Structure 1
Amino acid sequence: MLLVSVDAPGTFTRPWTAAFPMWRTDLQVFECACHEGNYAMPHSLSCTRAVESRAAGKQQ
C-alpha cells in the first residue's frame, strides 16, 4: 500500500491522505513518457496542416 499525505495549509483547507493499493507482478513496466527521437507528434501535426492547407486551396 502506498500512502501519500499532504499538509499544505497555503493550498488546502485541511491535511489529507490518499492510499494506493499496489502489488508485485511478473509483468514488465512499460514507460510511456515522451523521449528524444519520438517524431510521431510533429509528423502527425505536419500531415494535418498539409491536409488543411490543401483543403483551403493552397498547395505545398
Structure 2
Amino acid sequence: MTLQPGDMIATGTPKGLSDVVPGDEVIVEVEGVGRLVNRIVSETEYEVACHAND
C-alpha cells in the first residue's frame, strides 16, 4: 500500500485488548521517518500539566 501526503490511517481497538491505563505508552514508528511515543496520563496529571504555566 502506498500512502500519499495527507493520508491518515485510523484503526479501532482489536478485540481482546484491554484499555490503556496511566503509565502505558502508545508507540508509532515508521521506518525512515521516525518514532512517536505518547505516555498515557491520568486526568489529574493532564489537568495539572494544562495549568502548569497559569
Q: Which has the higher contact order (CA 8 A, sep 6+)?
A: 2
Compute the TM-score of the two structures, normalised by the length of structure 2: 0.27
Larger proportion of helix: 1
Higher Cα radius of gyration: 1
Larger proportion of strand: 2
Compute the TM-score of the two structures, normalised by the length of structure 1: 0.24
